[in-house]
């Protein structure tokens, strides 16, 4: 039987963001978007707000949906899979996991042979449709199926395919990345206050500067060094500031930070 529905297991921050993104895109009728949570009240609240369907249990979800998103915490994945592994049909369902550190093999070992599993590493800007999402597909997923899943995910932001072996690196860069940007903006605001601006104005200028610079990079497609050179005149103010950042190993610290997060992601997976 061909199923058309999209199901989301877990109605927390990510599950709700996903439901909101897909519902808002108009790519699917709300009647075909199903959500399920152990806490039915939570699912009902999210479904009511967006006009979606609430599944009474995994049976209904797997009976209605082809794409099944797993959006529960990593430590809850094993129990969740145990509760519906007998409902999974390799020829019917495609599982898409958002759980950090949980491998495709973890699912494949628990589900029937030939199971189709895609693993994602999203980040929090997915909550506003501006996420950076990396995606790896298991060996049973065809290129067409991976492309269709990528299309669905486009409602969360930018999606890029990566080999699963690089998921820890993705965690270090874009998964944890928003926190680096928040720290940068926080420091920029403090710097503005130190230089004499009031905090409210400094915050507005700092946020818009990061937003504007990111959009310049995105829209021009140019290398960051090129854009940086254009705002760095000889013996000017920007050159004076950049000299301080390079002396303080801004670039080296950022590389070391991403490497530390990447290594920590590997450790957490082993734990």
Question: Does 7 contact ligand NAP by CB under 6 A?
Answer: no
> What are the angstrom distances between the C-alpha of 271 and each of 106, 169, 170?
14, 18, 19
Give the separation between CA 30 and CA 22, rounded to whole angstroms: 9
Give the separation between CA 205 and CA 227, rounded to whole angstroms: 19
CA 26, 31, 32, 36 torsion-angle sign: positive
Listed residue (136, 8, 155, 156) closest to 71, CA to CA: 8
Binding-site member from 28, 60, 110, 124 for ligand NAP (CB under 6 A): 124
Residue 204, classed as helix, strand or coil, is: helix
Binding-site member from 13, 179, 207, 245 for ligand NAP (CB under 6 A): 13
Task: Give the count of residues interacting with ligand NAP (CB under 6 A).
Answer: 27
Question: Does 21 contact ligand NAP by CB under 6 A?
Answer: no
Give the nearest residue (CB) to ligand NAP. Answer: 12
Binding-site member from 5, 6, 7, 14 for ligand NAP (CB under 6 A): 14
Report in angstroms how near the CB of residue 92 gets to ligand NAP at its nearest: 20
Q: Which of residues 38-67 bind ligand NAP (CB under 6 A)?
A: 38-39, 42
Question: Does 30 contact ligand NAP by CB under 6 A?
Answer: no
> What are the angstrom distances between the C-alpha of 45 and each of 11, 16, 50, 210?
10, 10, 9, 35
| Other CB atoms within 10 Å distance of the CB of residue 106 | 19
Taking phi over 0 as left and psi of -120 to 50 as alpha, with beta for the rest, 209 belongs to alpha
Contact present, 179 and 187 (Cβ < 8 Å): no
Question: Does 118 contact ligand NAP by CB under 6 A?
Answer: no
Question: Does 27 contact ligand NAP by CB under 6 A?
Answer: no
Nearer to ligand NAP, 71 or 189 (CB): 71
Nearer to ligand NAP, 38 or 193 (CB): 38
Report in angstroms how near the CB of residue 135 gets to ligand NAP at its nearest: 13
Q: Which of residues 184-243 bind ligand NAP (CB under 6 A)?
A: none
In terms of C-beta density within 10 A (0-12 exposed, 13-18 middle, 19 or more buried), how is residue 253 classed? Answer: exposed
Binding-site member from 33, 35, 55, 71 for ligand NAP (CB under 6 A): 71
Point out which residues bind ligand NAP (CB under 6 A): 9-15, 36-39, 42, 71-74, 76, 79-80, 83, 98-100, 122-124, 175
């Amino acid at each position: 039987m061909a199923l058309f529905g999209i199901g989301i297991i877990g109605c927390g921050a990510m599950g709700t963001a996903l439901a909101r993104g897909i519902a808002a895109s108009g790519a699917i009728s709300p009647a075909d978007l199903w959500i399920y949570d152990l806490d039915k009240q939570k699912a009902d609240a999210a479904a009511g707000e967006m006009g979606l369907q609430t599944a009474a249990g995994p049976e209904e979800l797997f009976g209605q949906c082809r794409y099944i998103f797993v959006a529960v915490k990593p430590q809850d994945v094993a129990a969740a899979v145990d509760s519906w592994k007998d409902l999974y049909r390799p020829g019917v369902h495609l599982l898409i996991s958002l759980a950090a550190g949980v491998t495709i093999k973890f699912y494949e070992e628990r589900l029937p042979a030939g199971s189709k599993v895609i693993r994602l590493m999203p980040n929090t800007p997915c909550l506003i449709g501006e996420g950076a999402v990396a995606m790896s597909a298991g060996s049973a997923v065809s290129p067409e199926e991976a492309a269709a899943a990528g299309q669905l995910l486009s409602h969360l932001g930018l999606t890029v395919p990566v080999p699963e072996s690089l998921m820890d690196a993705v965690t270090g860069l874009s998964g944890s990345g928003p926190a680096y940007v928040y720290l940068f903006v926080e420091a920029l605001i403090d710097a503005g206050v130190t230089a004499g601006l009031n905090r409210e104005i400094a915050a507005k200028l700092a946020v818009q500067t990061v937003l504007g610079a990111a959009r310049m990079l995105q829209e021009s497609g140019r290398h960051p060094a090129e854009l940086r050179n254009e705002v760095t005149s000889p013996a000017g103010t920007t050159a004076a500031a950049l000299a301080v950042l390079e002396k303080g190993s801004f670039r080296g610290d950022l590389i070391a930070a991403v490497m530390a997060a990447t290594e920590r992601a590997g450790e957490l997976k082993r734990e």
